Amino acid sequence: MSKKILVIGSSNTDMTVKSEKMPAPGETVLGGEFIMGPGGKGANQAVAARRLGGDVCFICKVGRDIFGDNAVAGYDREGIDTSHVLRSDKASGVALILVDKNAENSISVAPGANNDLTPEDIDSVADVIKASDYLILQLEIPVESVLRAAQIAHEAGVYVILNPAPACPLPAELFSYLSLITPNAGEVELMTGVTGELDDKVAALRKMGVSDVIITLGSRGSYVAPSGSEAELVPALKVNAVDTTAAGDTFCGALCVALSEGKDLAEAARFATKASSLTVQKMGAQSSIPYRKDL
Ligand code: ATP
Ligand code: RIB
């Protein structure tokens, strides 16, 4: 029987403009291309895990509006279990994304309904959390809710993955509930205060209570540090990147699928590297996430 992957997190509608360069504060840059599509770190990770072969349930909170309806209809079409999606009177989340010619992005999120996903909501789905094998969390819903979900999962023996994005202050208690953390280069420095060697960053996260650590390094790849064995650098694939939006989300969803299939952390990171190298070659978030056959 396939292992159950539960993703709890944000659902957004992304509005992306790609232009030659990022506007400086106060500047207008003319001549960009516009695309609109489903996004949000939670949703992207759920979609990645599903498209790559996982048995996925996604819990998020969306508004009672057209963006929310479209988003949930999309997750249904993917074959994701949406039976525990919640609704709020606030507007569904929206992200405004600017991408430059180097594929770098700047994102501003209006969380709306995502901010309404409360610890009480998490308590109401405690049985779903306990029945999962893997729980994937990010930081686009209230931190207290992330904490509650991680605690319930950890106590039930579920493998808990935190993608700590976007970076924000975290309660010390949270780290003791995590099985794996996947910060990027900036997030790990903010969390640990360590700016030097990767091994020192890993050691700092271990001291905080996490066992497995993967630090993603964009086009350089990822530093994979399983508890109890040697750390290694898994290089990224050399590709023509046009938009890196959702690279980290694809990495996270893919990694979890590979772990759920019995791969070890380094093998799973290689699978995730391949998947995210495809994501960066297309525009948009979910529009760029590959299917298993594409790998
Ligand atoms: P984002 O916030 O843009 O979704 P992130 O900052 O969370 O991403 P990154 O470290 O940028 O995460 O990327 C995750 C993984 O995606 C990397 O470890 C790498 O394997 C792959 N990746 C990212 N950028 C590139 C690139 N330009 N070329 C090839 N692979 C890439
Ligand atoms: O990680 C990419 C995501 O971050 C985008 O889809 C956007 O919605 C923001 O939440």
- Give yes or no for residue 41 CB within 6 A of ligand 2: yes
Q: Specify the pLDDT at position 1.
A: 72
Reduce the DSSP state of residue 210 to 3 states and report it.
coil
Average pLDDT over residues 153-158: 98
pLDDT recorded at residue 31: 79
What is the best residue among 107, 162, 280 to mutate for testing ligand 1's pocket, by most ligand atoms within 8 Å of CB?
280
Over range 56-77, report the average pLDDT: 98
Burial class of 225 by CB neighbour count within 10 A (0 to 12, 13 to 18, 19+):
buried
| Residue 264 annotated among the catalytic residues of the structure | no
Which residue's CA lies nearest to atom 25 of ligand 1? 219
Q: What is the mean pLDDT of residues 188-204?
A: 95
> Pick the catalytic residue: 89, 127, 249, 264?
249
Work out whether strand 134-137 and strand 105-110 pair parallel, antiparallel, or are unpaired. Answer: unpaired
Average the pLDDT over each of 22-36, 38-52, 220-234 and give the range with the smallest value: 22-36
pLDDT score at 45: 98
Which range among 18-22, 126-130, 253-257 shows the weakest confidence by mean pLDDT?
18-22
The percent of residues in the chain predicted with pLDDT above 70, rounded, is 100
Q: pLDDT tens, 76-93? A: 999 999 999 999 999 999
Tell me, in angstroms, the distance from the centre of ligand 1 to residue 271's CA. Answer: 13
Residue 234: phi, psi to the nearest 5? -100, 110
What is the residue-averaged pLDDT of the chain?
Answer: 96
How far is the CA of 43 from the CAs of 14, 61, 98, 148, 191, in angstroms?
A: 11, 11, 20, 19, 24
Alpha-carbon distance 69 to 105, whole Å? 27
Query: Over the stretch 231-244, which tens digit does the pLDDT of each residue have?
Result: 999 999 999 999 99
φ, ψ for residue 190, nearest 5 deg: -65, -40
Beta bridge partners of 250: none
Q: In this predicted structure, what is the pLDDT of residue 28? A: 92
Ligand in closest contact with the CA of 35: 2
Alpha-carbon span 82 to 265, nearest angstrom: 28
Phi, then psi, of 19 in degrees rounded to 5: -140, 175
Query: Has residue 32 got a pLDDT over 90?
Result: no
Residue 75: DSSP 8-state: H
Ligand in nearest proximity to the CA of 223: 1
Residues with CB under 6 A from ligand 1: 165, 184, 216-219, 221-222, 236-237, 239, 241, 244-249, 251, 273, 276-277, 280
Q: Is 198 exposed, middle or buried (0-12, 13-18, 19+ CB in 10 A)?
A: middle
Length of the chain: 295
Look up the pTM and report it. 0.97
pLDDT at residue 155, rounded to an integer: 98
What is the Cα–Cα distance from 108 to 110, expressed in whole angstroms?
7
